[in-house]
Structure 1
Amino acid sequence: MAGVFQALTTVLLPVFLVAGLGALLASRFPIDQVTIARVTLYLLSPALVLDVILRTPIKASEAVQLGTAYLLTLSGCLLLGWVLGLGRADAERRSLSASVGIWNSGNMGLPIALFAFGQAGFDRATVLFLASFIGMYAVAPAIYSLGRSGAGARQTLRNLLRLPAIWVTGVALVLRGLHITLPEGITRGVELLAQATLPMVLLSLGLQLGAGGWPRLTRHIWLASAARLIAGPVIALGCGAAVGLRGPGLAVLVLSASMPTAVNALLLAREYEADTDTVAGVVLLSTLGSVLTVAAVVTLLPLLD
């Protein structure tokens, strides 16, 4: 247990440090947060996707199984968040759904999976990270904008396709499938951009909190945070078992689904003019609460063997 808490502290402390510096900066200087969010969405995040797909070993059969389990878990979590928002304003209900359904499988999920399961667990967690990245950019724009202020399916699809992360994923998969190697100069440039993504994402969270102050933690934000941290892994356990996942694959899925709400959910909320206060509140509260809940999940995972 001491090792688990030490690992969580090692992972979470840099998260809080970078976000805290962003909050401090925003509290002292006027920062154009929209520009920073768009740099991350349209430049850095696509570079991260390209880098991960081209560099990570992925087995097709297990990737399909893990991806299917992820989609089922995502659907269950989105539905739970939507139910929690019944009776609330439309923008808040959409944001609650996205906050429960979009979790941090990258900068928290990957290192914790590596510590808990070694390289084999990290490889499986990377598959889930890719699935969640694609799912997030496919689902979040629809959740935030579909049917709102006259936005129809065509407009939502147009919003989705203008995100470079979507078509960069397709290009990367083609390159990998054809075993095409990019020139070293290009891959180094992509790697540099990819390395800048996570710090910028965390800074964006801090800037949001620093500019708006500590978010008002309403009852629905508490409920959404509990749903993300507690119901998330339970839903993943059922969905993973339903598609036949066993052993390490199932354990990594459950661990991934126990992560707090992703900061990218906040970036997309800002891009699509959603209820950013609600998303920021769930991101903050679920991240703080994950110190205890993720430790509990890691402790219970050996029971799945």
Structure 2
Amino acid sequence: MLQALSNVLLPVMLVAGLGAVVSARFPIDQATIARVTLYLLSPALVLNVLLTTPVQAREVVSLGAAYALTVAGSLLLGWLTGLRAPQDQRRSLAASVGIWNSGNMGLPIALFAFGQAGFAHATLLFLMSFVGMYVIAPVVYTARVRRPDQSHPTPAGMLLNVVRLPAVWMVALGITLRALHLHLPQGVMRGVELLAQATLPMVLLSLGLQLGSGGWPRLDARVWLATAARLIGGPLLGLVAGLACGQRGEVLAVLVLSASMPTAVNALLIAREYGGDAETVARTAFLSTLLSVPTIALVVTLLPRLTP
């Protein structure tokens, strides 16, 4: 299993590392790269996942409730790590703990640990987390925030902050197409798949660019606390939430495994777009990814106790 984890983690660190090297040597417009990913590539990935992932209503409701409780607990933990910190850093710490990497790390590790059956549940969780991220993060960054050139935010304004992200539109489109049993033309679908495949490399490069532009990240006490909350508190919250929602056996184990993943790099892109503390998110994503090998290995070792 350690070899499998290294095979998953090494490519992640390699791509991010190359981004850091390039950013340290050349001036890079990071905001433009982040917006290309946020407004073009990520929506394509959302639509592709929605149209190609088999889901059942009963699983969506049960697992969705457990996921929502886990996210709520994780956001609270992240918020507590930022007590007495500036508002933008506190919000970014909450997002760093509440948004985890259930995709490029969670999916292959679930496949290694549970085979195809577990992979199907992990894919469903990935879909929930990816959609949820584009709803939760804008609220975390903008709720009750008043900037000098803006009036006090209203519920309608907060809703606009969420729906202005194309990923949310793709959720509505994907659900509508599936409900009506409609299919995109083959040429269009292939274009969507190409864009979706480009998403992961770009988000990893964005992490590297952020880290490389500022040198080796400064890992202060709050970043360490947020990393501990993500890697240790996450799986514990997943276990409690899963049991509370009636999950047992392999489904519960997949939920716990997903919740043990490090901070998602996409959290960095959203922090940039909504004026959050991108540096704090980048440092937490870096440290939690680096330390996730031993913590995930421990979780995987303990998971058989949940699948009698």
Gap change, CA 1:113 and 1:277, over 3 Å in 2: same
The answer for the alignment partner of 1:170 in structure 2 is 172
Give the match's secondary structure for 1:182.
coil
Return structure 1 stretches of 4+ with deviation > 4 angstroms: none
Change (3 A) 1:17 1:58: same
Distance 2:156 2:89 in 1: 23
Deviation at 1:155, TM superposition (A): 2.2
Q: CA deviation at 1:152?
A: 3.7
Greater shift, 253-262 or 155-164, is seen at: 155-164
- The one-letter code sitting in structure 1 at the alignment partner of 2:132 is G
Q: How many residues align?
A: 302
Instruction: State the match for 2:69 in structure 1.
Output: 72
Residue aligning to 2:149:
none
How many angstroms does 1:156 deviate by? 2.0
Distance 2:115 2:234 in 1: 23
Task: List per-residue Cα deviations over 1:123-174 (Å, max 9, x = no partner).
Answer: 1111111111111111111111211224443322111111010111111011
Q: Normalised by the size of structure 2, how large is the TM-score?
A: 0.96
3-state SS in 1 of match to 2:65: helix
Alignment of 1:286 with 2:283, yes or no, is no
Please state if 1:83 is matched with 2:80: yes
TM-score (norm 1): 0.97
Counterpart in 1 of 2:3? 6
Give the distance between the partners of 1:232 and 1:153, measured in 2 at CA. 29
CA-atom RMSD, angstroms? 0.9
* 2:9 is aligned with 1:15: no
Q: How far apart are 1:225 and its partner, in Å?
A: 0.1
Is the partner of 1:148 in helix, strand or coil? Answer: coil
Deviations 1:174-209 (A, max 9, x none): 111221121110111000000000000100000100
Distance 1:273 1:174 in 2: 32
Specify which of 264, 267, 270 is matched with residue 268 of structure 1: 270
* Separation in structure 2 between the aligned mates of residue 122 and residue 206 of structure 1, nearest angstrom: 28
Contact 1:67 1:127 in 2 (8 A): no
Instruction: State whether structure 2 residue 132 is matched by structure 1 residue 112.
Output: no
3-state SS of 1:298 partner: helix
Name the CA distance, whole Å, in 2 between partners of 1:152 and 1:106. 33
Corresponding residue for residue 234 of structure 2 = 232
**Percentage identity across aligned positions?**
66
CA-to-aligned-CA distance 1:250-270 (integer Å, 9 cap, x gap): 011000000000001111111
CA distance in structure 2 between the partners assigned to 1:274 and 1:154 by the alignment: 21
Separation in structure 1 between the aligned mates of residue 172 and residue 46 of structure 2, nearest angstrom: 10
Counterpart of 1:32, as a letter, is: D
